[in-house]
Structure 1
Amino acid sequence: MDLNDDAPAVAPEQGGSAAEELAYRLRQQQLTAEFGHFALRTHNTAALLQEATRVCALGLQSKFCKAMEYLPDERQFIVRAGVGWKPGIVGQARTGADLKSPTGYAFRTGEPVISNHLGEETRFRTPAILVEHGVKRAINVLIQGDGRRFGILEVDSPTEGRFTQADLAFMQGFANLLGVALERQQAEEDLRTSQQKTRASETLLQEALAHQEVLTREISHRVKNSLAIVAGLLSMQGRAAADPALRQALDDARARVQTIASVHDRLWRADEIQSVNLAEFMGELCEQLRSSAKPGQTLTCDFAPATVATDQAVPLGLLANELVTNAFKYAYPEGAGDVRISVRPGEAGRLRLTVCDQGAGLPPDFNAAQSKSLGMKLIATLGRQLGGQPEWQGAEPGTRFVLDFLPQPGSNQES
């Protein structure tokens, strides 16, 4: 799973600015979306659980995270995966499942548990494993798909501070995604076992594939809904903000999150899971960008008849959104003007993304590598994810952005 772990993100309890907190929340949504892609590609339950704990700990900037499976015969939990724990914990440690245990309470009631001051907790007893590791606060959420309850996902922190309702929303959405992925893997395992024992018929195989497609779309649906909720919260905060700069930053963030949601919705509505039709995908994105443009602003599009891997479609769509939005905003201060975007075959089997305008042009001292703008950092990050090197050029008049990238295996292009 390829994640930009050094992306700027400051946890709210660390006293960061509004912009840093915003980057922190956007980072959580990016982690959720990218984990969804990883979950669809892996068929190993242990690897899935381990990656989930790593990414979830990263999302809440905590040292510890563990995934616990409920054992009905023993009526307790076993730590199946985790990060930060001493040797001998993962795969062996057990914890109680009664209502006086925060883990047991979350599992039996389905209600999440936040304990920001374990030393003063009176509702539950503090598990010995947390005392041993000096944990001061914890958050527990249920892992469940559409069927049985698997267990609990728990993040623990040895630092003072507090987990918030926004952290809970991230955790619960992440646990729901994990639950659906585990259920998909169980369905695949059941199918493999059935085939080994009875050489299951073609009908059974088709039913299993159809079930996997339903679960795949369910993962997409949950990711999209989670992102839509965040976009709505950002919109509400933006309307309430008195500072124009903060209001603009929140609106920009809302647009980015909404684009991620739209990209995921488009990808998983397609017939092919591994690849996407470039012209159709980018064409729909352009229509969305046109609908949000100001009067007098036009967008001209030209896309090659090609397919790209879904892992590339997400950063490509986000990059196109960022570049076109910036061009409308900065190239034409008066509002009217045309922006052109194209993705055409380049040299050595590469594709070339070009976005250009005929506006004000680049400032004389422009240096993309030294820019502190969140938008410029996002463009650079997305360019690296595509495997290319972003290049800014003067178009005389205007500005041209060029990125050459190599389609991943499974992609196809026509000259």
Structure 2
Amino acid sequence: MHDDPTTAPAVAPEEGGGAAEELAYRLRQQQLTAEYGHFALRTFDTLALLQEATRVCALGLHSEYCKAMEFLPEEQQFVVRAGVGWKPGVVGHARIGADVESPTGYAFQTGEPVISNHLEGETRFRTPSLLLEHGVRRAINVVVQGEGKRFGILEVDSPTEGRFTEADLAFMQGFANLLGVAIERQQFEAALIASEARAQAGEAELERALAHQEVLTREISHRVKNSLSIVASLLALQGRMSSNAELKQSLADAQARVQTIAQVHDRLWRQDEVKTINLADFMGDLCNQIRSTAAPGLTLAYDFAPVSLPTDQAVPLALLINELVTNAFKYAYPEGKGEVRIAIKPTRAGLLRLEVHDQGPGLPEAFDAQTSSSLGMKLIASLSGQIGGRPDWRSSGAGAHFALDFPAEDAPRDR
């Protein structure tokens, strides 16, 4: 996983951004969650899983500190297994009490997440000395647990003023749920490998083990979808409570984008392969879904090459297609009648070309995608950068045309 510097501006509530920036912030959180789910399937090192989780959670909440703590039953303490931002000597060594007087211990013992937005005035818990030493003012603690026993706590800490919200908590809890299942899956696979090495596992036991591994893999997908559903519900609730028509529309758009991530993620997990997908089948299903929800007078024609695509590119590419098509429907055909065409074909060696065009009035005069303040345009630029391409917009009497050349590891090469 990596963070793309071209990502659209995403501003946390306490950072003072407008509605569009905060919506980009929430959308980015859910995209990070989905990307981490795929990372977890390809990673067989528990420490690497924990470390990446702390890095991405800190990134998702714009926080300086994050740590993953494992509970040590014999010591009745937590040890900091992974983290970002902490002074040397903390990760791998620092111990934190597991009693209910501390926010970490309370979350672990009760299974309930804890938000502390004013640690200096906190009366419910004792603030751990580690947080005091680093000037932490607010924190979120969530339990890391798979289908079995609890592993520990995932905690994001911030030294800045502000408030963590219920939406932040949903992001963190979804992440911790993913991490818990991924750790359990790794532990199970390690035990299975050891069993095979000792030649003690019979055929029936091996079949049961493989079936359990499949269940755990599906559980990761289930938990990602649950996290996305929670955020979509929060956005819908906020929209119903708002009297501002522009804000209501922005929240509805954000909700639709989160639901798209959930749908894309669901399709991805239904594939037989983990590392690659069939472009034609995967994107064809997505376009059929978009077409089924469009107005009756709007049509979508598509043509995708039957090539394999790395799953790392599948989510941002699918989100890009969804954004481009819905934008075309909205702006090219405001009366609700017209056709959008989309294609992905191999071009020169190792490259694929995405093209989307309509037959509407074309782009506005003086249109500049790079300076546009539209959240949709910022997302298109960000997603294009994530799959390794640079968008090219053109306009003519025949409508607007979008083109993007991007690399694909398994794309066929022209001869």
Normalised by the length of structure 1, the TM-score is: 0.94
Q: Structure 1 counterpart of 2:330, which letter?
A: K
SS in 1 for 2:17: coil
Residues in 2 aligned to 1:389 and 1:161: alpha-carbon distance in whole angstroms: 36
The correspondence of residues 9-408 of structure 1 with structure 2, limited to 5 A, is 9-198=10-199, 200=201, 204-408=205-409
SS in 2 for 1:123: coil
Residues in 1 aligned to 2:309 and 2:207: alpha-carbon distance in whole angstroms: 26
Residues in 1 aligned to 2:178 and 2:412: alpha-carbon distance in whole angstroms: 30
- The alpha-carbon distance between structure 1 residues 403 and 205, as it changes in their structure 2 partners (threshold 3 A), is farther
SS in 1 for 2:367: coil
Q: Is the 8 A contact 1:11 1:21 kept in 2?
A: yes
Q: Structure 1 counterpart of 2:118, which letter?
A: H
Q: Which moved further from structure 2: 133-142 or 197-206?
A: 197-206
Alpha-carbon offset, residue 414 of structure 1: 11
Query: Which is bigger in relative contact order (C-alpha 8 A, separation at least 6)?
Result: 2
Residues in 2 aligned to 1:197 and 1:296: alpha-carbon distance in whole angstroms: 64
- CA deviation vs aligned residue, 1:251-306 (integer Å, no higher than 9, x gap): 21111111110001111112222222222212221121112222321111222222
Q: Structure 2 counterpart of 1:39, which letter?
A: A
Residues in 1 aligned to 2:394 and 2:166: alpha-carbon distance in whole angstroms: 44
Q: Structure 1 counterpart of 2:237, which letter?
A: M
Alpha-carbon offset, residue 365 of structure 1: 0.9
- The alpha-carbon distance between structure 1 residues 118 and 237, as it changes in their structure 2 partners (threshold 3 A), is closer
Alpha-carbon offset, residue 344 of structure 1: 2.1
Q: Is the 8 A contact 2:356 2:402 kept in 1?
A: yes
Establish whether residue 2 from structure 1 lines up as the match of residue 7 from structure 2. Answer: no
Q: Is the 8 A contact 1:304 1:345 kept in 2?
A: yes
Q: Which moved further from structure 2: 198-207 or 104-113?
A: 198-207
Q: Structure 1 counterpart of 2:172, which letter?
A: M
- CA deviation vs aligned residue, 1:289-327 (integer Å, no higher than 9, x gap): 112222321111222222222222111111111111111
Q: Is the 8 A contact 1:79 1:91 kept in 2?
A: yes
Q: Is the 8 A contact 1:307 1:413 kept in 2?
A: no
Normalised by the length of structure 2, the TM-score is: 0.94
Alpha-carbon offset, residue 413 of structure 1: 9.0
Alpha-carbon offset, residue 204 of structure 1: 4.7
Alpha-carbon offset, residue 195 of structure 1: 2.8
SS in 1 for 2:71: strand
Alpha-carbon offset, residue 368 of structure 1: 1.4
Q: Is the 8 A contact 2:344 2:353 kept in 1?
A: yes
Residues in 2 aligned to 1:341 and 1:114: alpha-carbon distance in whole angstroms: 45
Q: Is the 8 A contact 1:304 1:413 kept in 2?
A: no
Alpha-carbon offset, residue 233 of structure 1: 2.3
Alpha-carbon offset, residue 235 of structure 1: 2.4
Q: Percent identity?
A: 70
Alpha-carbon offset, residue 205 of structure 1: 4.6
Residues in 1 aligned to 2:390 and 2:121: alpha-carbon distance in whole angstroms: 52
Q: Is the 8 A contact 1:304 1:414 kept in 2?
A: no
Residues in 2 aligned to 1:101 and 1:123: alpha-carbon distance in whole angstroms: 8
- The alpha-carbon distance between structure 1 residues 218 and 395, as it changes in their structure 2 partners (threshold 3 A), is farther
Q: Is the 8 A contact 2:144 2:179 kept in 1?
A: yes
Q: Structure 1 counterpart of 2:312, which letter?
A: D
Residues in 1 aligned to 2:332 and 2:123: alpha-carbon distance in whole angstroms: 59
Q: Structure 1 counterpart of 2:11, which letter?
A: V
Alpha-carbon offset, residue 401 of structure 1: 1.0
Residues in 2 aligned to 1:233 and 1:394: alpha-carbon distance in whole angstroms: 38
- The alpha-carbon distance between structure 1 residues 188 and 21, as it changes in their structure 2 partners (threshold 3 A), is same
Residues in 1 aligned to 2:120 and 2:365: alpha-carbon distance in whole angstroms: 58
Residues in 1 aligned to 2:355 and 2:15: alpha-carbon distance in whole angstroms: 40
Residues in 1 aligned to 2:100 and 2:240: alpha-carbon distance in whole angstroms: 42
Q: Is the 8 A contact 1:305 1:414 kept in 2?
A: no
- The alpha-carbon distance between structure 1 residues 299 and 363, as it changes in their structure 2 partners (threshold 3 A), is same
Residues in 2 aligned to 1:391 and 1:205: alpha-carbon distance in whole angstroms: 52
Unmatched tracts of structure 1, length 5 or more: none
Residues in 1 aligned to 2:161 and 2:361: alpha-carbon distance in whole angstroms: 49
SS in 2 for 1:369: coil
Q: Which moved further from structure 2: 291-300 or 139-148?
A: 291-300
Residues in 2 aligned to 1:148 and 1:412: alpha-carbon distance in whole angstroms: 46
Unmatched tracts of structure 2, length 5 or more: none
